[in-house]
Amino acid sequence: MHSLIQLSIVVLLLPLLSFVILIFFNRRLPRRGDFIGVGILGTAFGISAYIFWSVIVQTYDPAFRIAWDFTWIDLGNVPGVGPLQIKMGVVIDNLTAIMLAMVTLISLLVHLYSTGYMAGDKNYGRYFAFLGIFTFSMLGIVLSDNLFAIYIFWELVGLSSYLLIGFFFEKQSAADAQKKAFLANRVGDIGMWLGILILYSQFHTFSFEQIYANLAAGKFGLSHGWLTAAGILLFMGCVGKSAQFPLHVWLPDAMEGPTPVSALIHAATMVAAGVYFVARIFVLLTPDALHVIAFTGACTAFMAATIAITQNDIKRVLAYSTVSQLGYMVLGLGVGAYSAALFHLVTHAFFKACLFLGSGAIIHAMHHEQDMRWMGALRKKMPWTFATFTLATLALAGLPLTSGFLSKDAILAGAIGFANVEGGGIYYLIPVLGFFSAMLTAFYMGRQIWLVFFGESRTHLKPADDHHQDHHAHDAHDAHTDDHHEEHGVHEVAWNMRAPLVILAALSVFFVYSPDPLDGGKGWFMKMIPTPATVVGEANHQIGDLRASQAAPALAAVVPALEAPAAAAGEHGAAEKGAHTYADMRQAEIVHAGHGAHYTAIYISSIMVLLGITLAFVVYVFNIIDPAKTAIAIRPLYLFSLNKWYWDEIYDATFIRGSMLIANILSWFDTHIVDGIVNGVATMVRNFAYLNDGFDRNVVDGMVNFTAFTVNTTGAMLRKLQTGKVQTYVVMLLLAVFGYFVFYLTRLIY
Amino acid sequence: MLSLIVFLPIIAGLIILAVPSSQKQIIRIVSLLAALAQGVLAVLIWRGYDPALPGITAGPGGSPLGSFQFIEKIPWISLNLGGFGSLNIEYFLGVDGISITMVILTALISAIGVLSSWTIQKQVKGYFILYNLLASAMMGCFVALDFFLFYVFWEIMLLPMYFLIGIWGGPNREYAAIKFFLYTLFGSVFMLLVMIGLYFSVLDPVTGNHTFSLVAMATQSNYIKDAILGPDNVFWRYVAFIVLFIGFAIKVPMFPFHTWLPDAHVEAPTPISVILAGVLLKLGTYGMIRINFPLFPEVFQAGMYVIGIFGAINIIYGAFCALAQKDLKKMVAYSSISHMGYVLLGLSAGNSEGMVGALYQMFNHGTITAMLFLLVGVIYDRAHTRQIEKFGGLASYMPVYAAVVTVAWFASLGLPGLSGFISEALVFVGAFSSITTRPIAMVSVLGIVFGAAYLLWSLQRMFLGQRRQDAAYDLVVGEDGHEHIHFHDWNGKLDLDGRELAMLVPLVVITIFLGVYPMPVLGMLTASINKLVQVLSPVVLSQM
Amino acid sequence: MEQLTTIGLNHYLTISAFLLGFGLFAVMTRKNAIVVLMGVELILNAANINFLAFSKYNGGMEGVMFALFVIVIAAAEAAIALAIVINIYKIFKSVDVSSIDTLKE
């Protein structure tokens, strides 16, 4: 076993240890054991940082990969298959190393931040335990080398998310949200599970490596459509976990959880797991499946952005922004911009965590006021928060010099390249939606910054009954809220909440990732995460094809191609026009074309972002356009956005009510029809028995009784003759003798 | 060894018979000791078990030796019937992979059932005598390898169950008890007929006599060609398979023969529900695996699809019905129906993954559902109601209880890391890998969502949020200034007490352990299941 | 007239018939058990007379022998019967035969 593997397993198990210690002993430990959580995560991050350093900095090899596995379930010598084992294992490549460091770092920062944010909660210790099991599960997803293990940790992540969303379980809304999150995830998981089953049924293994080797060798026994189906079904897992349309509804509700949890789980790590998973299965996705993924991502990015512009809850804006950004990542994978999508995953994780923690600081300082309409003018009171929040916002909006610019731009470039290669038409919808969403992002983030940090303080504008309700809702977890009032207590947060903000904001700047502020492709990240070669090409069977042979060098040179001059790549793509029916060539082409579209993307996206920011200024700073009047002017659209496209209502009316209706019908069917038949049969048998009984008593027994009756009556009559007196008998004797004589004599005479 | 483990509870029952009925504590302790001794024996059998031996059919030379283990085989009833030949019934016990897991499960659940019976106050002596009789009969069923002996244990089991529900049950207990009794009896009558038919169709390869031995029956070459259930008599073999299957399906219980189960569960006292769900239901599927399938493999091959469909109906139909229930115990009862559907689905796959999954699911359902019913019993003891709507916000007041419930509920909905997940996953893997059952598996996965739906919804309504207005308990402010809840008519500990923890903690530990490392159970199964799959496989059948 | 002056068999038989008639009458109508017994004696003696008369007019000794037996047995019978009557009296405090009808039940 490689020493890095050993270390990674230690990293994996440390948070589990934290969970076990804290769940059982938190009440007996000083400070409810929060130092254990922070300490263990610190250790885990330290080891992860070492792994990151060894893999990325020291080795610096795009193809780096080490793996180790063990037999978990041994099914013996299975008839028809041979010896069959289900293995568990760990794989470390560049992506794993980066994710490992990212997850542990953000988890550590959230742990630290939570020591301030959650202080005084009655379930303080349990909170850290839940963070521990979440981190464990998330690291499990990152490290797993097979689909089964990923599915296991996938569900465990769902569990920890369930537990943390419902951390304030006394609140009805939190309890609803946690259930909704788990069920929406389960719907996605069904698809993922079916996808896994399709692959397993062909290869009798869950291991990525073996599945890909078998696929590449053309051993897939079912039709090509099944492989596309497998890809789309596996992607459904991502739809659920990464809150893609149409399963995105749970993520905004998940903001019922504590804000640091939103930062860790519902912004930076867990929701990114879906994207990570699609990246892991990227090579088996057929072009058709990739189209589905690309369109899903584009729709999600656009839809969430349109909703975010009207939301008033500071966390909900961020939540929809998260959904939108996840849409970008999925879009990126769908169009084949593999490296860019994962790049965006990492940059987004840092700046979105920073935004959430910043919003947490604001909410904390405002005593659990979350509605932006009643905030304002916090810039002076919370300078640190303001600075970090603004930096992260710029990154999110995608302004140059930030990390978000590099990654988002790479995705959009990939989208343009994709549309070019696919031959335009409907495919241009994807980059168009992407750019339009970029503008909307800039707009709603500008709005948020303005509403929260600038202008006048509007705490006093809040309606009184609204106050009361809000307080009541938060009573459950924050007993000391009542004594204070917003205006008095607003001040900058303590160091343990400030430090994470600063670190995360620092990680949102371009030079962490790339020396060139305009091109992420020059940075270490894109170099270390090259697009892997697909394993589903029919080209394997058509080696003799001229176009295939021409494309082969391009495929082999995927990594260098990234660095190739854009113009050359564009020409190459044009020369190979029409070759995209072969999945692997198509992939290589898209990479080239995406690179070619790099500067186009920069220009368009910069313009869109500036347009968005300008619009936000026009509306909120200069008040040239009054938002309230606009809302009235385009009321149907405004309501459509405010009510989140009515997805909740639609789902409630169809799936939830539908399920309950079916449940009630089936339950009625069960008690009345199925059981009715059983009871009916029982009644029939009983009635037949009664009938039989009647026959028995009246007819069969009747005859017996009749005989007895006859004998009895006759006897009763005859017994009258028996007086018991000897003399009577003598008289009878005489009479009999006399009678005999009469009889005898008569015979004698005649 | 096996005789001892079977008859130990009856011995305890006889001892109890001699104890005056006023000595309740002694009666309980005798029962507990017997159950614990049974547990120790089960562990010894487990330790002495060689997982490499396959079982299912006879070993080399037609003898069960070298295939089954812990064999006890002596002639029991030998009657010369003149023209009909002779009646040879053997006292024949033995275990293989598919029964040893059930033996361990039975010992475990019996012991937990005794602990759970501690609160029974009515006619303690009679209760424990019947309970021990039941425990013996269950164990006997799992180790009997002679069909006649199996049938005897099967029938003996009914009697104590009838009284345990009918006397110690809830308000509608007589209806439930009679329903249970008649329904099962209905199934076993057919079993008797098939059993006699089999007797006249099978010859023991060693002695040349007719035999009731299930081991001999599992080898198709032992059948007389033109006998009533011989290989030539295709029609009667189908009929025999179907009626036998119905007999076992009633016990499973399979839709549409399931309606006795919710009634029986709702009326039965907690320990009897635990036994019923934990062990008795397994006898149905065990019977299928031990008797139905290997004796009529070609009919099984033809009927896989139908069995799979019924499995899927059980899964989804049970889940929907559970979603609609207002009584917590009824919900758990329907969840049992749903989970037994996974067993049927796994069996219908006919491959190793599916069948291993099905058997593992039987074991896990035993432990998990036992836990669920115990937990329902805990809250029923306190609140005297099981209406889900009568609770709310319990997690704040009974944290330990809520934690155990959460583990049990999540185990039931198949969360990875808990044992139920692995069995469900293997069932799906198997069912999907088999081309016959693939479409059924694709539909059945819906059960994963609806399973989560009804469990999470009940969890939310009972434990999360705030106390409801019409809750079954009051809020009182305690001496420490915090709010506590108070149940009417309950003076015990609010949260779980020691006895309840003693029942639940082992189950929780087993559930977690087997969810992380399933090989201790799976390792015993695989050889037998692979052998069974071989016996059932069309390739082997076509060579006959 | 000669028939009236010479005593023949018919006279004996007539006497015997009358005696039998008286005896039967006593047995059937009297309520006192002792009177009934006396009636029985009369019947027996009527039979005796018949025996003796036929014995004389047929010329054999069989009738005489039967008559002797009857007398002896009648004595024994009377003794037993009287004993029964005494016992009946002891139980029923009466010798009224009409009240002794326990045979009926």
Contact (CB<8Å) A78/B325:
no
pLDDT band at B534 (very low <50, low <70, confident <90, very high): confident
CA torsion, ordered A292, A294, A295, A299, to nearest 10 deg: 140
Q: Do A659 and B324 touch (CB under 8 A)?
A: no
**Spatial distance between the Cα atoms of B262 and B252, rounded to a whole number of angstroms:** 13
Which one of C27, C98, C104 has the shortest CB-CB distance to A730? C27
Inter-chain touch A84–B527, beta carbons under 8 Å: no
Confidence of residue C104 (pLDDT cuts 50, 70, 90): low
Chain A touching partners, 3 or more CB pairs below 8 A:
B, C
Sort residue A67 into left (φ over 0), alpha (ψ -120 to 50) or beta.
beta
Summarised one tens digit per residue, pLDDT across range C44-66 is 999 999 998 888 888 778 888 88
CB contact under 8 Å between C97 and A730, yes or no, is no
Integer CA distances (angstroms), A733 to A572, C20, C28, C38, in order: 146, 15, 11, 19
- Tell me which residue in B317, B449, B518 faces A190 most closely, judged by beta carbons: B449
Residues of B in contact with A663 (CB under 8 A): 320-321, 323-324
Let me know: does A342 contact A529? Beta carbons within 8 Å.
yes
- Our answer on whether B and C touch (3+ beta-carbon pairs < 8 Å) is no
Given CA atoms A569, A573, A575, A579 in this order, what sign does their dihedral have? positive
What is the tens place of the pLDDT at every residue in C20-50?
999 988 888 888 888 888 898 899 999 999 9
Alpha carbon of A701: minimum distance to chain C alpha carbons (Å): 30
What residues contact A552, with CB distance under 8 A and at least 6 apart? none
pLDDT, one tens digit per residue, over B472-515 is 777 777 777 777 777 877 777 788 888 889 999 999 999 999 99
pLDDT in tens, B436-466: 888 999 999 988 888 888 998 888 888 888 8
* ipTM field: 0.91
Token readout for A508 is: 């949102």
pLDDT digit string, tens, across residues A328-354: 899 988 888 888 888 999 899 999 999
Q: Do A727 and C36 touch (CB under 8 A)?
A: yes
Higher pLDDT, A144 or B467: A144
Contacts of B358 in chain A (CB under 8 A): none
Which of B50, B172, B260, B320 is most worth mutating to test chain A (most A CB atoms within 10 A of its CB)?
Answer: B320
- Distance in angstroms (rounded) separating the CA atoms of residues A148 and A165: 26
> How close C34 comes to chain A (CA, Å)?
13
Residues of A in contact with B466 (CB under 8 A): 170, 172
Confidence tier at B543 by pLDDT (50, 70, 90): low
Q: How confident is the model at residue B200, as a pLDDT?
A: 85
Ranking A185-199, A228-242, A514-528, B268-282 by mean pLDDT, the lowest is: A514-528
Asked if C104 and A723 come within 8 Å (Cβ–Cβ), the reply is: yes
Q: Which residue of chain B is at minimal alpha-carbon distance from A150?
A: B416
Across the range A161-190, mean pLDDT stands at 88
Structure tokens belonging to residue A721: 């003759």
Of the partner residues A77, A182, A193, the one whose CB lies closest to the CB of residue B445: A193
B282-286, B354-358, B396-400, C97-101: which range is least confident on average? C97-101
Omega prior to A530 cis, within 30 of 0: no
Of B396, B448, B519, which is closest to A186 when you measure between CB atoms? Answer: B448
A695: number of Cβ within 10 Å: 12
Q: Which residues of B touch A152 (CB under 8 A)?
A: 416-417, 421
**Which chain A residues are within 8 Å of C105, Cβ to Cβ?**
724
Mean per-residue pLDDT, A439-456? 84
Which of the pair, A293 or A564, is modelled with greater confidence?
Answer: A293
Mutation target vs A (from B315, B433, B437; most A CBs, 10 A cutoff): B433
B403 vs B407: CA distance, rounded Å: 6
Report which of A322, A462, A450, A447 is spatially closest to residue A386, judged by C-alpha positions: A450
Which residues of C are less than 8 Å from A724 in CB distance?
100-105
Which DSSP string do the residues of B8-24 spell out, in sequence order?
Answer: HHHHHHHHHHHS-TT-H
Q: How confident is the model at residue A50 (pLDDT cuts 50, 70, 90)?
A: very high
Shortest distance between the Cα of B19 and any Cα of chain A, in A, equals 40
Cβ–Cβ gap B519/A678 under 8 Å: no
Q: A222 to chain B: nearest residue by CA? A: B435
For the residues of B348-382, what is the DSSP string, one character each?
A: HH-SHHHHHHHHHHHHHHHHHHHHHHHHHHHHHHH
Query: How far apart (Å, rounded) are the C-alpha atoms in residues B426 and A303?
Result: 38
Instruction: Show Cβ contacts of residue B54 under 8 Å, excluding neighbours closer than 6 positions.
Output: B67, B96, B97, B527, B528, B530, B531
**Searching chain A, which residue's CA lies closest to the CA of residue B452?**
A183
Which residues numbered 194-253 in A keep a CB inside 8 Å of some CB on B? Answer: 194, 197-198, 200-201, 204
**Contact at CB, C28 and A727, closer than 8 angstroms:** yes
Asked whether the beta carbons of residue A155 and residue B415 sit closer than 8 angstroms, the reply is yes
For chain B, report the end-to-end CA distance as a whole number of angstroms: 37
Which of A719, A720, A721, A726 is the best mutation test for C, with the most CBs of C within 10 A?
Answer: A726
Q: Write a three-state SS string for B457-488.
A: HHHHHHHCCCCCCCCCEEEEECCCCCEEEEEC
**DSSP letter for each residue of A382-432:** -HHHHHHHHHHHHHHHT-TTBHHHHHHHHHHHHHHHHHHHHTSGGGGHHHH
* Residue A723 touches partner C, C-beta closer than 8 Å: yes
Using the beta-carbon criterion (under 8 Å), do B259 and A670 form an inter-chain contact?
yes
Tokens of residue A539, six digits: 């080209």
Question: Domain spanning C7-92: which CATH class is it, in words?
Answer: mainly alpha
Q: What is the pLDDT of residue A474?
A: 44
User: Do the Cβ atoms of A726 and C97 come within 8 Å?
Assistant: yes
Q: What is the pLDDT of residues C70-102, one digit of tens each?
A: 999 989 988 998 898 888 888 888 888 777 777
Nearest residue of B to residue A196, measured between CA atoms = B429
pLDDT at B506: 92
Q: What is the pLDDT of residue A469?
A: 45
Average pLDDT, stretch A645-652? Answer: 81
Burial A585-603 (b: 16+ CB within 10 A, else e): bbbbbbbbbbbbbbebbbe
Intra-chain end-to-end CA distance of chain C, in Å: 58
Condensed to tens digits (0 to 9), the pLDDT of residues A201-252 reads 888 889 888 888 888 887 888 888 888 889 999 999 999 888 888 888 888 8
Closest residue of chain A to B183, computed from CA coordinates: A678
The chains in contact with chain C, meaning 3 or more Cβ pairs closer than 8 Å, are A
- From A13's Cα to the closest Cα of chain B, the distance in A is 14
- Name the closest residue on chain C to residue A720, using Cα atoms: C104
* pLDDT for the residue A583: 59
* Per-residue pLDDT tens digits for A277-334: 999 888 888 888 888 999 999 999 999 988 888 888 888 888 999 999 999 899 988 8
Interface touch A667/B321, C-beta < 8 Å:
yes
Measure the N-to-C terminal CA separation of chain A; round to a whole number of Å. Answer: 138
A584 pLDDT band, cuts 50/70/90, is low
Q: Which residues of A touch B177 (CB under 8 A)?
A: none
Q: Does A537 touch chain B (CB under 8 A)?
A: no
pLDDT number for residue A464: 62
- Mean pLDDT of the region A37-47: 90
CB-based burial, B285-319: b 16+ in 10 Å, e otherwise: bbbbbbbbbbbbbbbbbebbeebbbbbbbbbbbbb
Average pLDDT over residues A403-416: 86
Question: Does the pLDDT at position A541 exceed 50?
Answer: no
Interface test with A, best of C29, C31, C92, C98 (most A CBs within 10 A): C98
Tell me if A593 sits within 8 A of A418, measured CB to CB: yes
Average pLDDT over residues B250-268: 88
pLDDT of the residue at B84: 65
Alpha carbon distance B222, B236 (integer Å): 17
CA–CA dist A273, A286 (Å, integer)? 21
